[in-house]
Structure 1
Amino acid sequence: MKIINGKMFYKMSELVEQVELSNHTIAFYYKKGLLPNTVNTSKNMKYYPEITVTVLNLIKYFKDNLNFSIDYIKELFDYYRIDFDDRAELILQSIQMLSSEIKNPISKKDLDKQIVEEAIELDLVDDKDIYFKTELEVLKVYEELRSYEVASELIKEYVTTSKKLALLERELSSKVLEKTGFLPEVLILNILNSFKPYIFNRHTIIEFKKES
């Protein structure tokens, strides 16, 4: 590790050790524009900023757990204008990438205006010009649910509960940070991608079994 202008940087060999990826893989990601800019010393040694470790861990997670291709990860990075200077912002952006697939874009004007407006009012989706695959799926499910008399009230309660859960997740993250001084990005993604859905679905199954 080397201090340059008050910031920590890694050599390639140190990155390889930190993230357990080969130097060829890391170099490939760098050429694809997935990593922050390096600093070259007078000895022509290339140093990678500390946040590179976080970026590489996120790329590994997307590839290994979500089967995202490198080209799609690049597309995500470009769309969300990844912030290589702020680790906290980078993790927030990674949550956005996890929760919303930027595929099959459809313009807001080409969607059912009333459905979109109601979904925005219920805080199911953001008010934006372009909607992607995951958001379109939410809109489709909402359209199917709204034909049932009590659906709107139940959806409002669902959103309210989700907001309460979000506060609990932020508190959990704060506790981890307070305890360790560091917030593992992979832990956050695992909570969102596997831990939370499993617990939700498990208890949904338990409730349905009670009725049957």
Structure 2
Amino acid sequence: MPIKMKELMALSEESKSTILYYVKEGLLPEPSKPKPNVHLYDDTCVQILKFIKYLQHNFSYSISEIKHIFDSNHFDFDDSFEMMVRSLEVISGGRDNLWYSKETFLKLLSIDEVTLQSYQDKGYLFERSKGYSSKELEIAEILGRVGDLGLDCCLLDTYVSYAKDLAKSENEVGSALLKNNEESHNTRYKLLFDLVLTMKPYIFNMHTVEAHKAHNNKGNKHEKSL
């Protein structure tokens, strides 16, 4: 549904000058002009503006970096949950992503296709729509070091198992959270992002820290008792 500038400003909490600047930079579509001095914006502009603000405030992305993301990826701002999933894929790749074909990726890592396929089959690494990114290169190098040291992959398998179960729950919660809630849509959208991108790693990492503290304290108490 087309909306006027005043309504777009209110819904997105952005200034008129910012909105016009984003239109000029190609981050927002040009408004339709059914009458002189009447500019109507597509209502998806609200979601686009919220997404831009989220990238700026939470990941310190510059406008040029956001523009590059928009130019390099397709986002369906009409489908809220699909939009969130696509956004997560982009963000998880890192801000300075380079993309590699499978052939180049294998050469950079000096591994064969069988090894790469085994990483993917085990759920340690993923081939994306554009190939393999800098993030996949980093992950594959870590996996190579694990193999060089002959370490057991049980921890990685546990990560994958928990991740699959967690993904199912996130999908269910996300779908319910974003379904038919137009009035509080933006608030719910941001909350889901915060849960997945901020809350989840915080809880996991802090539990690791606390477990190490408990282990060390137990060891210290044992030494004092001797």
TM-score, length basis structure 2: 0.79
> SS where residue 123 of structure 1 aligns?
coil
> SS where residue 204 of structure 2 aligns?
helix
Question: 2:79 & 2:31 partners in 1: Cα distance?
Answer: 16
Q: What is the CA distance between 1:109 and its match in structure 2?
A: 3.8
Which amino acid is 1:116 matched to? Answer: L
| Stretch moving more, 112-121 or 132-141 | 112-121
1:210 aligned partner: 214
> SS where residue 41 of structure 1 aligns?
strand
2:99 aligned partner: 105
Aligned match for 1:58, one of 30, 40, 51: 51
> SS where residue 148 of structure 2 aligns?
coil
Question: 2:91 & 2:148 partners in 1: Cα distance?
Answer: 30
Question: 1:18 & 1:10 partners in 2: Cα distance?
Answer: 10
Q: What is the CA distance between 1:150 and its match in structure 2?
A: 4.7
> SS where residue 162 of structure 1 aligns?
helix
Change (3 A) 1:147 1:109: closer
> SS where residue 118 of structure 1 aligns?
helix
Matches for 1:109-188 after TM superposition, within 5 Å: 109-112=106-109, 113-114=111-112, 116-127=116-127, 130-177=131-178, 180=181, 183=185, 184-188=188-192
Contact 2:81 2:174 (8 Å CA) reproduced: no
1:71 aligned partner: 64
Question: 1:208 & 1:191 partners in 2: Cα distance?
Answer: 24
Contact 1:122 1:155 (8 Å CA) reproduced: no
Contact 1:105 1:131 (8 Å CA) reproduced: yes
Contact 2:105 2:137 (8 Å CA) reproduced: no
Q: What is the CA distance between 1:179 and its match in structure 2?
A: 8.7
Change (3 A) 1:54 1:178: closer
Structure 2 unaligned spans of 5+: 217-226
Contact 1:34 1:74 (8 Å CA) reproduced: yes
| Stretch moving more, 173-182 or 74-83 | 173-182
TM-score, length basis structure 1: 0.84
> SS where residue 61 of structure 2 aligns?
coil
Q: What is the CA distance between 1:74 and its match in structure 2?
A: 1.3
Q: What is the CA distance between 1:37 and its match in structure 2?
A: 4.4
Question: 2:86 & 2:179 partners in 1: Cα distance?
Answer: 22
Percent of matched pairs sharing the same residue: 30
| Stretch moving more, 121-130 or 10-19 | 121-130
Q: What is the CA distance between 1:67 and its match in structure 2?
A: 0.7
Q: What is the CA distance between 1:84 and its match in structure 2?
A: 4.3
1:4 aligned partner: none
Contact 1:54 1:185 (8 Å CA) reproduced: no
Q: What is the CA distance between 1:54 and its match in structure 2?
A: 0.8
Which amino acid is 1:159 matched to? Answer: V
Change (3 A) 1:109 1:22: same
| Stretch moving more, 187-196 or 29-38 | 29-38
Contact 2:93 2:135 (8 Å CA) reproduced: yes
Count of aligned pairs: 205
Contact 1:16 1:23 (8 Å CA) reproduced: yes
Change (3 A) 1:176 1:22: same
- Return the index of the structure with the highest Cα Rg: 2
Question: 1:85 & 1:180 partners in 2: Cα distance?
Answer: 14
